[in-house]
Structure 1
């Protein structure tokens, strides 16, 4: 699998399960996008640009799915997640030589849970998530774990 040598554009998202109506909202020129998933509370992308690029839309859809599945994977592993867990996803479009390719970088933020536990849940979520499965072996995916 090729790695991006030169990033040309990125789509960045942060997906959270919103349990706090007083959470910081987007600044001028951006908006909050509420999504739903079967059997899950609403997901929100806070501060989405009003005219997103394709990689932002892909990152948004993928992170919404992955965030939902991450919660399911935690339940399967009998781990209670803190209410403020979130998933950041950056989808890059770039070049390697003359080829145009995609790459993805997840940052999984689960404060107060052991890194090994979060890594295990993140791995299971990638095995379950339809978006993760559809790109497996086609684009490079990096997952960073933040527990502080």
Structure 2
């Protein structure tokens, strides 16, 4: 971090039991969830779903910033369908991701510009860049 960097927020969670009937709770109590294996019969969520939700929410915020720079308002029914794959490849686990972005009513060229900028500035996109296969598409 540079000397001018300013810490904006630190998320804190406590997780016990992992994805096999575990729990995870945030330090402020606003997140309190049960965890279960992927595709299993458990009643909780799994890390891939949580990652998809966090990334898509952050990406939408990055799109709002990109749109506002251009004095454009995102459509009210904007949406992101995030898909996170957990893959086993030659004995090693890895992730793969698709972000399918819907910006109804927005000119496709403008939409692509906003999406491309968001993918460059979104902290989640930056974190995974070069580490996992990512496809971002306007649908």
How does the TM-score come out when normalised to structure 2? 0.65
The structure with the largest strand share of the pair is 1
Which of 1 and 2 has greater Rg? 2
Cα offset, 1:99, TM superposition: 2.1
RMSD: 1.6
- Structure 1 spans left out of the alignment, 5+ residues: 1-48
Query: Which structure is higher in RCO with an 8 Å CA cutoff and minimum separation 6?
Result: 1
Choose which of 87, 92, 97 in structure 2 pairs with 1:94: 87
Choose which of 88, 107, 116 in structure 2 pairs with 1:114: 107
- Structure 2 spans left out of the alignment, 5+ residues: 1-41
Q: Deviations over 1:17-40 (max 9, x none)?
A: xxxxxxxxxxxxxxxxxxxxxxxx
Moved over 6 A (4+): none
Partners of 1:93 and 1:78 lie apart in 2 by 38
Question: Aligned pairs, how many?
Answer: 98
**Does 1:72 find its partner at 2:65?**
yes
